[in-house]
Every structure is written in C-alpha cells, then in structure tokens.
A and B are shown apart, each in its own frame.
Chain A
Amino acid sequence: MTKSRKKTIFLAAVLVVLLAASLAVDLALPSYHIAVKVIKKATVYALVAVSMNLLNGFTGLFSLGQAGFMLLGAMAYGVLTIPVASRAGVYQYFDGGLVQFSLPEIFSGFLGDTVGTTAGMLLALAVGGVLSAIVAWLIGLPVLRLKSDYLAIATLGFAEILRAFFQWNALGPITNGSNLLRGYPDFENATSYIVLAGLLIAVIVLMINSTYGRAFKAIRDDEVAAEAMGINLARHKRMAFIISSFFAGVGGGMLAMYNGTIAAASFKSSMTYEILLIVVIGGIGSISGSVIASFLYIFSSEWLLRGLDSGTFLGISAPGIFKNGFRMAVFSVIIMVIVLFFRRGLMGDKELPDLLNRRPKRSRKEAAGK
C-alpha cells in the first residue's frame, strides 16, 4: 500500500470515528447536555479558526478582522431567519422591523417542514458568508496593499467600524440596533454542526491543496520570489481574504445559532484574539492543528476546567483561590507558555495524516547517524 493511500485511509477512519462519536452523543444525551454544547461550540470555533489559518498561516496575511466578518454572518443569519410571528417582540423598539419574511418559513411552505426549515437556515448562513465576502472585497481594495502589522491594525479597525455600524440606531429596523436578535431556529443535534462545519473545512482543505493554495503558500514564504514566479500578488491576496471572510461569515452565523442570541457588542477584538490564539496553539499553517486546538480549547474552557471557577478542582476545594476568572487566568498563562516556548504549536505545519510517516523518518536518521 502506498503511503498516500495509507494516509487517506487513516484520515477517513478518523473522520468516521468522529462522526460515529457525535452520532452516539446525540442519541445518548439530551441536547442541553454539556457534551453536546461543547461539540457544537468547538465545531464553530474550528471552522472560524481554520478560516483564519487560511489567511494568517497559509497566505501570511496577518489579519485581525475575523470578529467583524463573523458579526456580518451572524447578523445576516439572525435577520433572515427570525420567524415572522416573533418579529414584533424582537424588534419591539423598531415597530417589528423592516424585514418581514423569514427564509426557513418561506422554504417550509413548499418543501415541507423539516427540509424547508433546514434549507432556509443553510441559505441564510450562505447569505451571511456571501455578504462577508462582498464586504471583504470592498475592504480588501485599500487594506490589502498594506504590509504585516499595518494590515493587522487596519483589519482590526474595520472590524471595530463594522461593530459600531451595526449598533447604529438608524439601522435599527434591520439590525435591531444595540438590542439582541433572538428567537431564530437552531440545529438541535451536534451531528449537523459537525457535518456542516466538516464539509466547509473540507472545501478549505481542497482549496489549499489546489494550485491556488500553492500560490498562497508561495506568497507566504516570499512575496518577491512568488511575484517573480508569475503569481499575481494582488489577485491571490484578495482571493485568500475573500474566501477566508466567507467562511468566517458562515462561522459567525453558526456561532449565532449556537448562542441563541446575537448582540453586536459581543463581537469584540478579544474574540479575534481568542481565535488567533487557538490557531497558534494548533500550529500556524496546520488545518488539523486548528481543529484539534479548537476542540481542546473549548473542551477545557467550557467543561474540564469549569471547577477552577467554581471552588473545587480535582477534588481540591479552595473557594478563596478557585473563584470566578481563575480558569481564564490559568488558561492565558498556558497560552503564553505555548507562544513563548512551543512556537510551533501542537502540529507545527503538519497535518494529522503526516503523523504516520514520522517514525520511519526518525529511524532512517538514526541509521544514517550510525
């Protein structure tokens, strides 16, 4: 069996096990159980982290605008899917709002309840993604000409502008101003999150392995050399930015789904930082690293280390020390250790199937040494 085939089988096996595990969780546990919540949130973060990795890790564009694009996706999802009947309650300060239709309801009219609602939700997510992509194209026109840290601060600035824009009262009839959007539909089970995010991540992986992906990596490694090889820098940078924003937008919509409410104020730059740190933990330039890191991060922050905040951890009871906020403090110390001493993160720039060819390489090296 060739190595690449082995890798494919290995990857397929991992995916099947994951899918089976999530199905089992769905069957065994009620949807409000913490395990389901963790899986849902972690898949959303995985998608957003991978989209950020595409930009920061594979194209070498240090962008900090992710929260802004997520906000766009989330808003689009909320606005398009809130049932017409509950709009009067949600938009209570804006006379029920301007948008008087709901995609899931339109679709369930002629596709049946289950299929129609799902189709409507997916379409709303896609609209959010496309909206983000369009905004990314607009933002990219001026911003992508900038280099490294200027790019970072400019994208960060754009995310802040978007946030202010969505909280603007004049847009209230559509965005509900600084009030919450709520009451929209959500996928009940964790498996649908996994399948949806998994498919989207698979698209990104295919993208990275294509000629475009190779062009992105060439730009990351050396812009001047890439340009000399005939790669259109502006075009490819713009493409990476737009694609990444599309997936961030969809991820934002899914985050909105998971949270149950959307408040523009919560899409702060600290959300971008959080995602960036997940990417760093997983390894900049590794898709599977980002996915694993999101699961680890969400699992430990939402579940495993909960005790650090509520008094008892590992059987030690010390309410004086283990009080609110200790969990995140411990967490950020761990992150700093990774940033300073394990700069390659969990996976470096390797992918999960690459773990298979680790051992033979080492033995060959040893043999050469002897």
Chain B
Amino acid sequence: MQELIPYLINGISVGGQYALIAIGYTLVYGILRLINFAHGDVFMVAGLVMVYSTTAMPMYLALPLVIAATVVLGFVIERAAYKPLRTAPRMSLMISAIGVSYLIQNLAFYITGGVPQPVTVPIPWISENIMVLGASTKRVTVVTPVLTIALVVILVCLIQKTKIGMAMRAAARDFETAQLMGIKINSVISMTFVIGSFLAAVGALLYFTNYPSVAITSGSMPGLKAFVAAVFGGIGSIPGAVVGAFVIGLCEELIKGLGYTTFSDAFTFALLIVVLCVKPTGLFGEKVTDKV
C-alpha cells in the first residue's frame, strides 16, 4: 500500500488536469453536439506558448500571455472552422474538427521543427519539490486539485447565476428555440470556446510543469482521455466531467503503479466502451430520445 501512495497523489493531480480539459469538451458538446477534436491540440499549443514565453520574458508577463494566446486560438478556431458549418450535417463539423487538429499539429511541427521543446524555465513555487505523506513530489501535485475545484465552483456559479450562463444553458437545451428567444447564439458559442480554452490553458500550465518537454503530440492523449472523462461523467454535465476526470486520472496512475504501464491508456478506452454500452448517457447525463 505504501508504495502506491505516490501514484494515488499523482492520480488526483492528473485527474484535476484532465478535468480542466474535459470541461472544454463537455461545454462545447453540450451546445454544438460536436466532439472538438482540436481541443487537445489547443492544450498542446498552450504548453508550447508556455515554453517559448517563459524563456523570453519574465513570469508575470508570460503566464497571462499563455492564457490570452490560448483563448484567442480557441476563439479563432470556432470562428474560422466551425461557424461556417453551422447548418451543415454533424459529420462535416466533426471532419472539420479533425482537420483543425491535423492543421495545428502540422503547424506546430513546422514551428518546433518536430523536436520536443524542453521546459527550461519551470513556473516557480509550484515546481518546487515537497514531501506529501512520505512521498516526494512537486508542489503542483497538491495545487492542481485545489485550483481545479475552485475554478469549477466559479464556473458553475457563472453558469447558474449570470445572464451569459443562462444563455448557455438555454442554447444547450434547444439551439433553435434559444435563437428565437433573442439569444445571440454566436456570441454564446464563442464564450463557450473562450471558457474552454481558458481552462485548457490553466490545465496546460499545471500539466507541463510535471513534464520535461512539450512535443506536438503531447496534447492528443490527454485530450482523448479528457473526452472519455466527459463521456463517462455524462457529456454536457460539468460536475460529471470533473468526477469522470478524477476517476480516470486515479485509475490510470494506479494501473501504472501496479506495473501495467502499457495498458494505462487502453484502460481509459475500455472504460469508455463499457460506459457507452452500459449507460450511454454517462453518470450524470440526461436521457435523450430519438425523434423521427
């Protein structure tokens, strides 16, 4: 048991980082019914911007820049690649998302030259080593779950209490009726992408503090896992995504701890398939019926 404790702590931390990405998926899926395949790559770009900006400028400028750049990227992706396809079949939208993911990865390959970019200037304070329950780890491991929960609480308040939150809920319930009620659907969707990208940027800052380098494919696996977390929790539901992400993060690290590292990724997908077959709406999802 004692040797599993570092994995447990790590699992909670990884789960928090997945949760931050998963919210981006779940928000977008709730409104557009689109799996935003590019979201994992937005996360990766945030990591790259972090690497570049922290080496070029002081920390107090670099961190806001990372967040701003990621938010702008998310916004631009929505406007350029998803908005023109608003009336198109869902398959086109999904293909467009895959195209964007492909584009971002190839652009990143061009810019980085295909070499993983080392994190040379880690963010101070959170990258310091501390001892937790007798296991040595970075402070980020402890900070992540706390920060995640705090951000989620703020987000839930935003969605439940503010006007834009109400508009988002309305759009998620019924896209067309929401439009008829005078909700500016485009700005609501943009807002969703902005929030999603903001959280992904925070997630990237935390995630890549634990890793030595950022490669162009670093985003796709966390992205897919976060998506699985969103499905597991019931896509469209924020608490569901968070719970799902923590479960997946924990299980994955425990599997690593038990010595089956090869299968830690496979487990996530096996979980996805089991969930989809047993309870396709996820833990907290609402039941939808098909209309002719």
Contact = CB atoms under 8 A, between A and B. Distances in A.
B99 A146 contact: no
Contact of A153 (B80, B99, B231, B277): B231
A153 B231 CA distance: 10
Interface string A331-368: 11101100111010000000000000000000000000
A160 B269 contact: yes
A157 B272 contact: yes
Contacts of B102: 270, 273-274, 277, 332, 335
Contact of B273 (A142, A269, A274, A336): A142
Most buried by A among B81, B109, B276, B292: B276
Nearest to B272: A157
Interface stretch (A3-11, A17-25, A201-209, A318-326): A318-326
B266 A164 contact: yes
A153 B96 contact: no
Given A161-B266, A169-B262, A269 B220 contact: yes
B17 to A, nearest CB: 19
Given A325-B114, A329-B109, A148 B269 contact: no
Given A164-B262, A276-B95, A329-B109, A335 B273 contact: no
A36 to B, nearest CB: 27
Chain A's interface: helix, strand, loop or mixed, by majority? helix
A218 to B, nearest CB: 15
Contact of A340 (B84, B94, B109, B266): B84
A332 B99 contact: yes
A167 interface: yes
A187 interface: no
B107 interface: yes
A339 B99 contact: yes
Interface in B234-283: 262-263, 265-266, 268-270, 272-273, 276-277, 280
Interface in A221-275: 224, 269-270, 273-274
Interface stretch (B45-53, B85-93, B204-212): B85-93
Contacts of B110: 323-326, 328-329
A62 interface: yes
B95 A339 contact: yes
Given A146-B276, A157-B272, A62 B94 contact: yes
B231 A276 contact: no
B81 A340 contact: yes
Contact of B35 (A56, A152, A276, A333): A152
Contact of A336 (B103, B105, B263): B103
Contacts of A335: 99, 102-103
Interface string A296-339: 00000000000000000000000000011110110111011001
B265 A160 contact: yes
Interface residues of B, number: 47
A156 B273 contact: no
Contacts of A270: 102, 105, 217, 220
A24 to B, nearest CB: 35
Interface in A148-201: 148-150, 152-154, 156-158, 160-161, 164-165, 167-169
Contact of B106 (A62, A224, A332): A332
B100 interface: yes
A143 interface: yes
B109 to A, nearest CB: 4
B73 to A, nearest CB: 15
Contacts of B62: none
Nearest to B33: A149
Nearest to A177: B262
Contacts of A161: 266, 269-270
Nearest to B34: A149
B273 A158 contact: yes
B273 A343 contact: no
B66 interface: no
A142 B90 CA distance: 23
A145 B268 CA distance: 20
B106 A336 contact: no
A129 to B, nearest CB: 24
A270 B37 CA distance: 11
A124 interface: no
A280 interface: yes
Nearest to A338: B99
16 contacts: A62-B91, A148-B90, A153-B231, A154-B272, A161-B269, A276-B95, A323-B110, A324-B114, A325-B106, A325-B111, A326-B110, A329-B106, A332-B107, A333-B103, A339-B96, A340-B96
Given A280-B95, A280-B99, 17 more contacts: A146-B276, A148-B91, A149-B94, A156-B269, A158-B269, A158-B273, A161-B269, A269-B224, A270-B220, A274-B102, A276-B95, A324-B110, A324-B114, A325-B111, A331-B106, A332-B99, A336-B103
- Sort A-B residue pairs by CB-CB distance and give the 6 closest, nearest first: A157-B269, A325-B110, A164-B266, A332-B103, A328-B106, A325-B109
Interface of A: 56, 62, 142-143, 145-146, 148-150, 152-154, 156-158, 160-161, 164-165, 167-169, 224, 269-270, 273-274, 276-277, 280, 284, 323-326, 328-329, 331-333, 335-336, 339-341, 343
